[in-house]
Every structure is written in C-alpha cells, then in structure tokens.
Structure 1
Amino acid sequence: MNDLVQRFLQYVTFDTQSDSANDHCPSSAGQMTFAQALEQELLTLGLSDVSLDSNGYVMARLPSNVDYAVPTIGFIAHMDTAPDASGHNVVPQIVENYQGGDIALGLGDEVLSPIQYPDLHHLHGQRIITTDGTTLLGADNKAGIAEIITAIAHLIQNPSIPHGEICIGFTPDEEIGRGANLFDVEKFGAQWAYTVDGGPVGELEYENFHAATAKVVCHGVSVHPGTAKGKLVNAMNIAARFQQLMPEDETPECTEGYEGFYHLSAASMSVAKSELVYILRDFESEGLVARKDFMQSQVAQLNASLQQGRVELSITDSYQNMKEMVEPHPHIIEFAKQAMIDCDVEPLIKPIRGGTDGARLSFMGLPCPNIFTGGYNFHGIHEFITVEGMEQTVKVLVALSQKIALAHVPVTHK
C-alpha cells in the first residue's frame, strides 16, 4: 500500500484543471501530460492494449488469468480536476494518527475544522492527506486513478487471485461534463464498469441527477452616466431582479438527499450585458422539466415588467439519471455490495448529488455505477482523503474482481 500513497502524491503534482472555455479535448495541456505519464506507467506494469488517443483518453487491459468465460468488467476514473479552485502547485500534507481538533493547512490561517466538517470526528487514528490551504487536493479523481492502478498491480503480483479480463479507462474533462463525449465504448470492451469517483468509505451509487445548464442573458443600454437620465438601462440591475425571483430554499446549500435545486454557478456583469449561469438538478425527469418551465415563466414575467431592456434564456441538457440503465442489471450492484461486505466495509447506497462519467456511459451502453475513493470536500481547498479509505478502495476493487470471476466458475455435472 506504500505504492498507493506514493502514486497519489505523484499524481497530484500534475496540474490538470479542465477549462470549459476551451473547446479542445482535452481542454488543458496538463491533462495530456498526465495522460502520457499514465500511459508509460501502464506499459511498465505490462498491461495489454495500452493506448492514448489524440483526445487524451487512456485505455488498457489486464488479461484474464482463468481458463473459463468471465464477464469483462471495467474500472474508470477521470484525470482532470475541477476549475472551482486552483490545481497549480498542489502541496499535500499528511497528518499522521489524527486525534481530533483543527488541522492547520500549510503556514497560513486556513484550517480544516471538525466543527465545519463533522466527518472528521469519525476519522480519529487515521492518516489524513490535506491541501496546504491554497489549492484543491485532486483526490477527485486522482485518488481513483491511484486506487485502480494499485489494485491492478496487486492482481498482477498475486496471480493466485482469480479474475477475468479487466479494462481500465482514464478520461479527460469530466469536471466540465465532457468526459464521456469521445469515449469509445466498443474499443473499451467491457460488459459493465465501475467509476471509482465517489466520496467517503462505503459509498455505492447508481442514481444521479438529471442535469441541465441555463444561461440567462440580460440586455441593457449603456450611456455615459453624466447624461444617462431616461436613457441608461443597467443590465446588472435586471440580473439582480432575476436572481431575486429564484427560490431561496431550492439551492445546494439548502437541499440534500433526493431534493433538487437551482444553483447560480457563474456571473458576468456589465451595464450593457450581464449573464447568469445556473445549473439545474433534479432526480426525476419531470422535476427537471418543471424547473425549466419555472425559469421560462420567470423570464417572461420579468420581460413583461421591463419598460426597457430584455432578458433571454437558453437551456442545455447535460446528463440523465443512470438509474434507469443500471437497475435492469441488479447483479452489477450486488457484486459491489458483496465485495464491500467481504472487506468489512458497510455499503452505503445513496444517490449521487452530482454526476459522473458513468451517468453518460450508462446511456451509451456501458452500465456504470460509482464506487467510493475515501475522499471528502471535493472541489475546494478543504478537500482531504484518508490513507485508510484509499486502501479500503483497493481491497474492494481486488475483491470485486475476484468475486465476479468465482461467480462464473463452471459447474461440473456428474
């Protein structure tokens, strides 16, 4: 397991933030640099069919070590980190044998506090890897990559553990919703797969939001303020009025479980033109439709009240709830549950309040639930992960591979 930690600490040194403003794939040069390093590592491990395409997708195979038919499965993780916080010059620190209280991040005033993050109360005695308070950590999803490669290396080093063929896939640009755009499901070759992109130990997810992005564009009229009376229309004021029309209690900070939300995620403001970007989320397709209709009605209401200026709305669908594509294959979930139980991990089956590559891939013919990485507080400077949680993921991936192989041992009839 020392290799696991060293892999992870090496991986987070790569600056792989995705960039939604760049239409190229991958959207940042650092992702391709990281992909090339992973390609070389997989070749060094001796895997088959190692490939890196021009769009930054890395794939490889571990051949089966049994002489009977076993379903080909896959493990998938993404290489990019979120643009919500800096991923440049990540400096992780390891807190040994955490015994409670605040954790100082780096040399500044930033701390990781159990008052703000109660999960820390349950992690006494563990090794916690944090940021230095200036960047995100990158456990989302470099921990998943480190765990997958460590599990595969363990299977290679221990040929007595039976397993079928295992496909490995590392994707770019998941954080900006493009991770599955150019994923070649046929080339990948698995019957089903698991993304290793979850949070705390035990998480097993096969439901996620239906998702859409809404852009509200407010048009005003810019005139020199010295001669503006009766002429100037401030688009920023129109944008503020629109935001006031949105439900205050249906935001991420006010919802949980199966509750959906509207989230103002970005804004660009000027007198002549102001843009608001919202992400819309709901676990039911009808609920997402209702949220779209609500925004349309608010735009119509605001336009009707304006004497000058106007508001435009455009909505783009992002991904769907993979539940309908995974539930018809209950054995996929059951194998993962039993592998966790075999590793003394309590399965926590819950919906993903977000999305993964697996959501899109499930609708592309590759059913793809999500397994935990052991990380917390993704997308920000308070991100952290436990070494013990990462080790548990590796054990579950190994046990899962073995369990699927043993479940398909041919029965000898007398």
Structure 2
Amino acid sequence: MTDTVLDRLLRYVVIDTQSNAASQAQPSTEKQKDLGHLLVAELKALGVHDAHMDEHGNVYATIPATSSKDVPVICFCSHMDTAPDFTGTNVKPQLLRGYQGGDIQLTGDPSRVIKVSEHPDLTNQIGHDIVTTDGTTLLGADDKAGIAEIMTAAATLLSNPGIPHGAVRILFTTDEEIGRGADKVDLAKLGAAFGYTLDGGVIGEVEDETFSADGVEIEITGVAQHPGTSKGVMENAIKIAADIVARLPRDIAPESTDGRQGFIHPTGISGSMDKARLTFIIRDFVNNGLTEKEALLKNIAEEVMKAYPGSTMGFKVTEQYRNMKEVLDRHPEVMDNLMEAVRRVGLEPVTHSIRGGTDGSRLSFMGLPCPNIYTGGHSYHSPLEWISRQDMEKSVETIVELVKVWEERA
C-alpha cells in the first residue's frame, strides 16, 4: 500500500465513530468498529499478520523487530472515536492546497470562518495543504490524524526493513472521548514496556502531564405536590438543582481559567419536580486541588439544601484519571528519547501540560508509561477543526525516528 498520511486521514474521517456517554456498552457505539475493521484489513494488507480487533473494539497489531538488540517494546496508541460535542455524521473533508494566508471560509456553512485572529498558528502554515470540514461537522482529526500517522509510520517501517528497531506494538482504542479508552485494554496481550499516544496538537509540543480528573453526580429528591395546592409543601427538585449551579464560583470554571488552574464544570442537568440529577467534571493538576474543589461543591450543595428541609441529596464522586507525570517522572528515558526524536526531525521540543486527558493518563497508571505526541491538529471538537498535511508528515517522521532512538540507546 502506497497511501500517504493524507490519503489515510481523508479515508478515516468520513467514517462516523462518535462515542456516546449515555451508553454503558464498550464500545459505546458499534459504529466505532467500522473503522476498526478497516484498520485491521489495512494492517494485514501491509503484512501485519497478528492484527485483530477484540470484542470491545480495540485493535492490536505488532511490527516485528529488525534489530538483534534487546530493545524495550514500545507501543503507539490513538483512539478511533470522535467527540460527542459536535456532530461527526456525514463529514465532508475539504482540502485547501498551498494555503497562502488569510481567513478560511467553510463552504457548507459560510457563517463559519477559521479566522487568523483566532487561529494564529495559521501564520506558520503558508504553502501547506490544509484539511478542514465544510463547517457542518467536526473533522475528527482528533484522533484520526493520530491513527493515520501511526498507520503511515507502520507502512514506512515495514517497507524499509533496513531501519533498525525493536518490536513495535500498535493499539487503537474506543471511547477515549468519554473517558473509557483504556477500560478494556489488555496490557498483558499488548506486551509493551512503554507507550506513546498520538493525540496532541501543534507540532513540536510533547505532553508529559495531564489534568487529574474526577466526576461528580448529585441526585436530588424533592417534594412533589399539585401546583394548585403547593404553598408551603412543594420543594421543586429542578429549582434546587438550578440553585446549586447558580452558586458555582465564576472564577473556577473552564471559561475563566487557563494554564495550571483547575475548574468545576457542570456537564448535565435533568429532572422533574420530584427528582433531579446534576453531573460535573472536576479538574486540577494536583490531587489536593481535586479534593478541595469537590469539598467546595459539596458545601455549596449542602448549603442550598438547608432551604429545602423536606428534600434529600446524594453526592457521588467517581475517579476518572490522574496526572500521568507522576508515573513518567519515574521513567525519564521515555521523555528523553522522545525529545531526541523531535530534535532529529528539525523541531525544538516544547513540553506542555494538557488541560484534559488522554488514554495515556490511564495507561500510565495501569503500568504503561505513556506521554503524548503531537499530531498537528487544531481546534478539536469543533466545526473549525483543521490540520496540515505537512504537519502530519512531520509526526510520521517523529514516530520513525523515535523507534530508531530506542534501538540505538538499547
């Protein structure tokens, strides 16, 4: 197969793979397997005989070693699902060849414009081939760009057996966007010592730190009564939930924080007069910050409940993932080798903290130390998503150089 990384991206993004947090299945949507089946077929066509997809939609494959050295087995991982934040159905990728600067108006919805003032990284893309959507869907470069880059690097290694490297494992997961990407990964079967997710953004930026994350669910049981005879009796669960949200500090929210600041973010509210449910995500780079924000949220909810003596509240915290830096700092060679590979492809590496999480967050704590590598994508989870062909090619080069560095230093 002689497909380029661009060919692969354009083929993958038109497959609808959005995950669904409301589903308890894994994968949460069967359509994610449509891409999985295609990837297995393409890997086998490349000569990867052990490529397969398990019942949970995870794809596993091995590129055999070409070196006689005892090289640690490393894994490259990307996720197949796209975010539920904006529709990913009927994606129509658009290719703007030889970008010459200026704003990019999207053809399917002319009201949507990728503005240089809002996307300053476009100034570094003169002459590049830019992939966008038509403005009616997200693109899905998060993380199909990562998949395309891993697949292209695999094709490069397999067609050039003279490149010395250890065994390389490939892992494509489902449901990363809803926080379950690593739930059903079989690390014993994967058999890797270290891993790298291809799920980043600007080329040159490598990420060894993520948020720590928890989810909070508040269940409220109010007091129902006919509206005509409710005076002094009714305690409306919807209003109780609204009171809790209204009291959230405005300076501890996603829209008012950046850098290393954490937040409390309501993600769902539903209910009726007698019962209501609130869901939140809590984020911070340190675990104490999570604990403090959860205590603050609980105090707010308890204070609100004092005005509703006939009502009750349940407060449940669920751990989601933890900051992977805690694990990666114990294995400095993982980042050292990555930084060397980035320099070899002509970039100056910049370490960056992710205001979010990746499969690597969970995988690191499961026993697979796993930082994050750039894919070249921008404005993920939105109809203004875009990516450069040349930046994707740079990511492919980085993967190839990285396996060479591991072999040299073994």
TM band (smaller chain)? over 0.9
How much does 1:303 deviate?
1.3
Quote the Cα distance in structure 2 between the aligned partners of 1:329 and 1:232.
58
CA contact (8 A) 2:75 2:194 kept: yes
Distance 1:38 1:303, change over 3 A: same
CA contact (8 A) 2:40 2:53 kept: yes
Q: For residue 44 of structure 2, give the secondary structure of its aligned residue in structure 1.
A: helix
Quote the Cα distance in structure 1 between the aligned partners of 2:232 and 2:128.
65
2:194 counterpart residue number: 192
1:5 counterpart residue number: 6
Quote the Cα distance in structure 2 between the aligned partners of 1:166 and 1:103.
39
How much does 1:307 deviate?
4.2
CA contact (8 A) 1:362 1:368 kept: yes
CA contact (8 A) 1:302 1:311 kept: no
Aligned pairs for 1:325-340 (under 5 A) are 325-340=327-342
Quote the Cα distance in structure 2 between the aligned partners of 1:158 and 1:233.
70
1:411 counterpart residue number: none
Distance 1:98 1:271, change over 3 A: farther
Quote the Cα distance in structure 2 between the aligned partners of 1:117 and 1:265.
26
2:258 counterpart residue number: 256
How much does 1:217 deviate?
2.7
Aligned pairs for 1:310-325 (under 5 A) are 310-325=312-327
Quote the Cα distance in structure 1 between the aligned partners of 2:158 and 2:108.
41
1:276 counterpart residue number: 278
CA contact (8 A) 1:62 1:167 kept: yes
The answer on 1:101 being equivalent to 2:94 is: no
Quote the Cα distance in structure 2 between the aligned partners of 1:316 and 1:245.
22
1:173 counterpart residue number: 175
TM norm structure 2: 0.95
2:308 counterpart residue number: 306
Aligned equivalent of 1:153, options 155, 176, 182: 155
- Counterpart amino acid of residue 244 in structure 2: F
Q: Structure 1: any 5+ residue segments left out of the alignment?
A: 409-414
1:412 counterpart residue number: none
CA contact (8 A) 1:48 1:62 kept: no
- Counterpart amino acid of residue 93 in structure 2: P
Extract structure 1 runs of 4+ deviating beyond 4 A: none
- Counterpart amino acid of residue 312 in structure 1: G
Quote the Cα distance in structure 2 between the aligned partners of 1:23 and 1:256.
32
- Counterpart amino acid of residue 108 in structure 2: L
TM norm structure 1: 0.95
How much does 1:235 deviate?
2.4
Q: For residue 305 of structure 1, give the secondary structure of its aligned residue in structure 2.
A: coil
CA contact (8 A) 2:240 2:305 kept: no
Quote the Cα distance in structure 2 between the aligned partners of 1:121 and 1:223.
61
Quote the Cα distance in structure 2 between the aligned partners of 1:238 and 1:68.
64
1:230 counterpart residue number: 232
Q: Which one is further off, 388-397 or 245-254?
A: 245-254
Quote the Cα distance in structure 2 between the aligned partners of 1:28 and 1:246.
33
2:409 counterpart residue number: 407
Distance 1:105 1:270, change over 3 A: farther
How much does 1:252 deviate?
1.2
1:219 counterpart residue number: 221
1:361 counterpart residue number: 363
Please provide the CA RMSD for this pair.
1.6
Distance 1:223 1:113, change over 3 A: farther
Q: Structure 2: any 5+ residue segments left out of the alignment?
A: none
Q: Which one is further off, 44-53 or 121-130?
A: 121-130
Q: For residue 183 of structure 2, give the secondary structure of its aligned residue in structure 1.
A: coil
Q: Which one is further off, 246-255 or 332-341?
A: 246-255
How many matched pairs? 408
CA contact (8 A) 2:241 2:269 kept: no
Distance 1:118 1:276, change over 3 A: farther
Identity of aligned residues (%): 44
The answer on 1:136 being equivalent to 2:138 is: yes
Distance 1:267 1:123, change over 3 A: farther
Quote the Cα distance in structure 2 between the aligned partners of 1:168 and 1:362.
16
Q: For residue 157 of structure 2, give the secondary structure of its aligned residue in structure 1.
A: helix
- Counterpart amino acid of residue 105 in structure 2: A
The answer on 1:372 being equivalent to 2:374 is: yes
Quote the Cα distance in structure 2 between the aligned partners of 1:269 and 1:384.
37
CA contact (8 A) 1:264 1:277 kept: yes
Q: Which one is further off, 93-102 or 286-295?
A: 93-102
Quote the Cα distance in structure 1 between the aligned partners of 2:314 and 2:115.
42
The answer on 1:21 being equivalent to 2:22 is: yes
Once the two structures are superposed, what CA deviation does each residue of 1:290-349 show, in whole Å capped at 9, x if it has no partner? 111111211221112324434332111101111111111111101111101110112120
- Counterpart amino acid of residue 27 in structure 2: P
Quote the Cα distance in structure 1 between the aligned partners of 2:274 and 2:192.
52
Aligned equivalent of 1:267, options 266, 269, 292: 269
CA contact (8 A) 1:172 1:179 kept: yes
2:287 counterpart residue number: 285
How much does 1:223 deviate?
3.9
- Counterpart amino acid of residue 351 in structure 1: S
